[in-house]
A and B are shown apart, each in its own frame.
Chain A
Amino acid sequence: MGNNGTLDISTLESWLWEAACKIRGEIDAPKYKDFILPLIFLKRLSDVFEDELTKLEKDYGSKDVVEELTSEDHSLVRFYIPKQARWDSIAKVTSGIGQALTDAVRSIARENPKLQGVVEIVDFNATASGQRIISDDKLTLLIDTLGRHKLGLDEVEPDIIGRAYEYLLRKFAEGSGQSAGEFYTPREVAILMSHILDPNPGEEIYDPCCGSGGLLIKCSLRFREKYQSDTKVKPLKFFGQEILPSTFAIAKMNSFIHDMETEVALGDTMNRPAFLNNDGSLRKFEVVTANPMWNQDFAQTNYENDAYHRFGLGYPPSSSADWGWIQHMYTSLKDKGRMAVVLDTGAVSRGSGNTGKNRERDIRKEFVEKDYVEAVLLMPENLFYNTTAPGIILVINKNKEKSGEVLLINASKLFAKGRPKNYLSDEAIKQVADIYHGWKEEEGISKVINKDEIARGDYNLSPSRYVAQNGGEEVLPLEEAVVLLKEAEEERREADESLKEVLGMIGIQL
């Protein structure tokens, strides 16, 4: 413990991780994240609320008076926690703790519309194949461990608990394998993106597949870093949409814990984008940021029947929705808006070099010819959570300073080795951000190219192609090679169908 009973970050992190491992050890901890995170959130809510009551006591004199007043008028407090939902009541429960917890979170949701769809999504009493997913015994152990420290505002500042929450999410991601990518972008990638986007006062920031909300949160932190607590500065507004209910809940809790005002919507952005204007058109934002799942396969019908006119520059292939996401994000930009999106390396290279048509190359060509693309940044291998493949950050800016030019940054060697994943050091983040903002060319790291060069390379925007690193033949990551093949086979199927049709018309059977 630090001074004044405040918790320092490493104590906080190891304590929370220890609690998480109480259920079934380190390996299985990620499976229980949907129970652990709400409990921590509940404790924080409860402790902060108790502190607020104590403060009000000083104004109103008596504890009972304050209890009665706040129970009648919730506007006196930031949020209201009913007595039986508070931590000290929960800690006293001897039997049926699962049910008690579920009742508690439901009562909190009832009393606080803002927290609806956030806290009460979890059912601590849930069973699977007749067995409790998390037993009362284990819940009691968890509650005991979490009871060790107070999580009030004096003990833990919002960004400290926010960091700890993100730390847990990262530990869960590290152990989750394939599913990690669904909810968590590596911390340094999110930080780098926040530096590149560099939010300005009053801007609205949107993430169409926000997962646990990491990208939005890092933008908020970057903003606070720039403007500290200057109250004259117009604050940012955050908007996110997430398809999985449990992840949606985490995004809302994560936002709340970081003291951010975020509007998070639940649903499928591709088919039913949540943020619309009164006339039903897509709402637009100054800044859009996202790390969608790479190479999703969506049927063509998703694009064909689009009521929001998002895919005018071309329908992506069924084997990869990457350029579908890019077009959705682009359509969500205001006239001078800018966006940064994390995708697989194939998104900027697939299809280039093919004679004849190729969907992704053709859409990419439109974006380049219309001069929307500002920069492409190549990330190192083994950075992201569900793959060893490197990724890229694509920056699109409707208010480009350098028209006709694209900045390519090859950051693939700027990594530090970690276990299980590599990471970007603070110096590396700063270096890349400086190169971007300064539009600099650095030997072996970055290069500025123009539209003619891009056209000659058949619209391949891969930084490794233009920024020489160490020669050697480039081999695609295995996942990328598979997507490439799927795409080639889809194009071929179409070509074959036309062939069959045309030959049939002149009487030839194949």
Chain B
Amino acid sequence: MSIQAIYDLNNTKFKETEIGLMPEDWDSTTLGEVVTLQRGQDLPKGEREEGHIPVIGSNGVVGYHSKSMANGIGVFVGRSGSVGKVTWIDGEYWALNTTLWCKHFHGNNPKFVYFFLSNIDLSKYASGVSVPTLNRNILHPIKVGLPPLPEQKAIAHILSIVQRAKEATEQVIDATKELKKSLMKHLFTYGAVSLEEAPNIKLKETEIGMVPEEWEQIELSDVFKLSSGTSRPDDVKKSAIGQYLYPVYGGNGILGYSSVYFLEEPTLVLGRVGEYCGSVHTSSGKSWISDNALYIKQMLSDCVSLEFLSVCLELLNLNRFKKKSGQPLITQSIVCSKVIAYPHKEQQTRIIYALNVVEKKIASETNRLKALDELFKTLLNNLMTGKIRVQNFEVPEA
């Protein structure tokens, strides 16, 4: 998405204020004149009753209660904990004392106020050494520039629509991830067949679930030889820059980049130690494997392709076999004792292809979401500083 924004600088007259330039018709005022913030009320967990009224903490909805303290529209700012996080609730609510809630909007548009507050980095106003907390007496005097009400409504409307577009794309990503799970289950129960053919496929019961009768089974000790990695090099950097080009794999994928490597060929890497042990990653070329990971040193059979094997290992969910005493870890013998089922190579290819198509969609939708996020941030900033004016914008009636 490329954005060609038209800046309205020629038609807008700006005025100098203590906080810099702002449009002439905007009000140079303080935050306390825009909205009156009030500390929320205490509600210990024990006193919370079963209900459906959302209870708002610094990070948003944290539970439900049977009573509300106010009705209508709520805008909340995290006071302690998620300091400065802004939440919007349409309807009844109970605000905890870890939040500041907007008691009076002083005639300003509430949705606008929500976006307005999101645009200010409130966390830098937190005071207190042990637990940084926001105090309304420190926030109210903050100097701000406030657009007139019609422009507030227009700004709120535009930003809501962008937010809605973001939410809708998030929904698509979630649905596609669900589809990937369902597709994996379908492909590994019936094979690369259509939904129509699936009921006709004869299945057999195996220790890993139902698979097509014609699939073979093999123990992983006959498929590959594993090896543990070696302690990580000293020069690991966060990103691949300059000579530090070679990925270093740890207990959960790439932990950094180094100037040295010891593996040349593509292989599979399994997390060995840590919370994510059992996780599966693919190293596509020169890389370093740390001793928190296992890797395939040698393939003993060519019955399965590397990609197909990778999905099989994912499906095994090796993490559930971890040894829990002390540090969670999986051992080579745990992995190699497992059995996988596989079809002939051509079907393996088709299965991998189908999954890759869905993966690609997830990736492209994720990029789209990033772009929408950037768009939102840019618009938020530009609208709230008057760089883009919408004073003559027609807002449709709700």
Contacts and interface: CB of A to CB of B under 8 A. Distances in A.
A178 B168 contact: no
Contacts of B182: 475-478, 480-481
B157 interface: yes
B161 A508 contact: no
17 contacts: A177-B199, A354-B171, A354-B174, A356-B167, A456-B52, A476-B182, A478-B183, A478-B185, A478-B186, A481-B183, A488-B171, A491-B168, A495-B164, A495-B167, A496-B165, A506-B390, A508-B5
Contacts of A496: 165, 168
Interface size class of B (residues with CB under 8 A): 35 or more
B161 to A, nearest CB: 5
Interface in B137-186: 157-158, 161-162, 164-165, 167-172, 174-176, 178-179, 181-183, 185-186
Given A178-B196, A476-B182, A478-B182, A485 B50 contact: no
* Interface SS of B by simple majority: helix
B285 interface: no
B333 interface: no
B195 interface: yes
A484 B179 contact: yes
The 6 closest A-B pairs by CB, nearest first: A481-B182, A495-B168, A492-B168, A507-B6, A488-B175, A455-B52
Contacts of B186: 478
B51 interface: yes
Contacts of A177: 196, 199-200
B167 A354 contact: yes
Given A484-B179, A492-B172, A505 B393 contact: yes
B167 A489 contact: no
B167 A355 contact: yes
B161 A506 contact: no
A83 B205 CA distance: 59
Interface of A: 177-178, 354-356, 358, 382, 387-388, 420, 451-452, 455-456, 473, 475-482, 484-485, 487-489, 491-492, 494-496, 498-499, 502-503, 505-510
B198 interface: yes
Given A356-B168, A484-B179, A488-B168, A508 B3 contact: yes
A502 B161 contact: yes
B64 interface: yes
A484 B3 CA distance: 31
B17 to A, nearest CB: 24
Given A475-B181, A478-B183, A484 B175 contact: yes
Contacts of B64: 452, 456
Interface in B253-283: none
Nearest to A353: B174
Contacts of B172: 485, 488-489, 492
A503 to B, nearest CB: 8
A491 B6 contact: no
A498 B395 CA distance: 12
Contact of A479 (B52, B165, B195): B195
Given A452-B51, A476-B181, A506 B169 contact: no
B165 A495 contact: yes
A502 B181 CA distance: 36
Contact of A485 (B51, B157, B175): B175
Given A456-B52, A481-B181, A484-B179, A506 B164 contact: no
A293 to B, nearest CB: 14
B161 A356 contact: no
Contacts of B168: 356, 488, 491-492, 494-496
Contacts of B174: 354, 488
B4 interface: yes
A356 B1 CA distance: 24
